[in-house]
Amino acid sequence: MTPQHRAEAGFTLIELMVTLSIAAVLMIVAVPSYQTYARNAAVAQISGNFFNATQLARANAMRLSSHTLVQVVDADRGWVGGWRVYADIDRDMV
């Protein structure tokens, strides 16, 4: 290689700094948007799961002709702790 080609083979410090600055600005804009997207996706998933649980309870109640409940698993944590669907055949939980 001639000396001219060797000098053209890399990036200058200014090019590297400009590239890193652009990447930093893009990250500053993108990270909050991604956090909002992730939070909304989690809420949509949990609400979808709860809707499916209520539909399962409804279908089970019609199929068995008995009370079917959607009940909180952990009373201290509320609905965040999860829920269970079960048929209350002897109606002792109503």
Residue 36's Cα: distance from chain center in Å? 10
pTM beyond cutoff 0.85: no
Sequence length of the chain is 94
Work out how many domains the chain is built from and give that number: 1
Residue 93 within any structural domain of the chain: no
Residue 31 belongs to domain spanning: 12-88
Per residue, the 3-state secondary structure of the chain, as one string, reads CCHHHHHCCCCCHHHHHHHHHHHHHHHHHHHHHHHHHHHHHHHHHHHHHHHHHHHHHHHHHHHHCCEEEEEEEECCCEEEEEEEEEEECCCCCC
Residue 43 within any structural domain of the chain: yes
Closest CA to 80 of 41, 43, 34, 37: 43
Q: What is the pLDDT of residue 67?
A: 87
Residue 71 within any structural domain of the chain: yes
Residue 77 has pLDDT above 90, yes or no: no
Distance CA 40, CA 28 (A): 19
Residue 2 within any structural domain of the chain: no
Tens of pLDDT, residue by residue over 11-56, are 899 999 999 999 999 999 888 888 999 999 999 998 999 999 999 9
Residue 5 within any structural domain of the chain: no
Residue 7 within any structural domain of the chain: no
Residue 63 within any structural domain of the chain: yes
Query: Which of 36-40, 61-65, 75-79 is predicted least confidently?
Result: 75-79
φ/ψ (deg, to 5) at 56: -65, -40
